[in-house]
Amino acid sequence: MNSPGYTVQRATRASQTAAVFAIVLLAAAVTLPWWGTPVAMRSVVEISCYLVFASMWNLLAGYGGMVSIGQQGFLGLGGYFLFVFAQKMGVNPFVCVPLAALAAALVALPTSQFVFRLQGGYFAVGTWVMAEVFRLFFANMSALGGGSGTSLTVMVGIPKATRETITYFLAVGSVVFAIGLVYGLLRSRFGLALTAIRDSERAAESQGIDVKAVKLIVYVLASFGAGLAGALYYLSNLRISPDVAFSVNWTAFSIFIVLIGGIGTIEGPILGALLFWLLNNYLSDYGSWYLVGLGLMAIVVVIKWPRGIWGALSGKFGLQLFPVQRKILWEEGGGRRDEREGGGGRREEG
Phi and psi angles of residue 71, each rounded to the nearest 5 degrees, phi first:
-65, -20
List per-residue pLDDT tens for the chain, 350 residues long: 555 677 777 777 888 888 899 999 999 999 999 998 999 999 999 999 999 999 999 999 988 889 999 999 999 999 999 999 999 999 999 999 999 999 999 999 999 999 999 888 899 999 999 999 999 999 999 999 888 999 999 888 889 999 999 999 999 999 999 999 999 999 888 888 888 888 888 888 888 888 899 999 999 999 999 999 999 999 999 999 999 999 999 999 999 999 999 998 999 999 999 999 999 888 888 888 888 888 899 889 989 998 899 989 888 887 888 887 777 777 765 554 545 444 444 443 33
How many CB atoms lie under 10 A from the CB of residue 161?
Answer: 11
CA distance 6 to 44: 44
pLDDT for res 3: 58
Phi and psi angles of residue 187, each rounded to the nearest 5 degrees, phi first:
-85, -5
CA distance 103 to 178: 17
User: Are 312 and 305 in contact, with CB atoms under 8 Å apart?
Assistant: yes
pLDDT for res 350: 33
345, exposed or middle or buried, with CB in 10 Å at 0-12, 13-18, 19+? buried
β-strands 150-151, 239-240: how paired? Answer: antiparallel
End-to-end CA gap in the chain: 10
How many CB atoms lie under 10 A from the CB of residue 128?
Answer: 18
CA dihedral defined by 89, 53, 17, 2, rounded to 10 degrees? 90
Phi and psi angles of residue 340, each rounded to the nearest 5 degrees, phi first:
-140, 145
pLDDT for res 289: 86
How many CB atoms lie under 10 A from the CB of residue 234?
Answer: 27
Cα Rg of the chain (Å, integer): 21
How many CB atoms lie under 10 A from the CB of residue 194?
Answer: 25
How many CB atoms lie under 10 A from the CB of residue 70?
Answer: 25
What is the distance, to the nearest Å, from the Cα of residue 292 to the centroid of all Cα atoms in its chain? 24
Counting Cα atoms < 13 Å in the Cβ hemisphere of 160 gives 5
- Per the DSSP assignment, residues forming a β-bridge with 6 are 3, 330
**Helix axis angle, 160-186 relative to 13-35, nearest 10°?**
170
- Per the DSSP assignment, residues forming a β-bridge with 151 are 239
Nearest one of 303, 74, 48, 332 to 167, comparing CA atoms: 48
CA distance 276 to 284: 10
Counting Cα atoms < 13 Å in the Cβ hemisphere of 346 gives 8
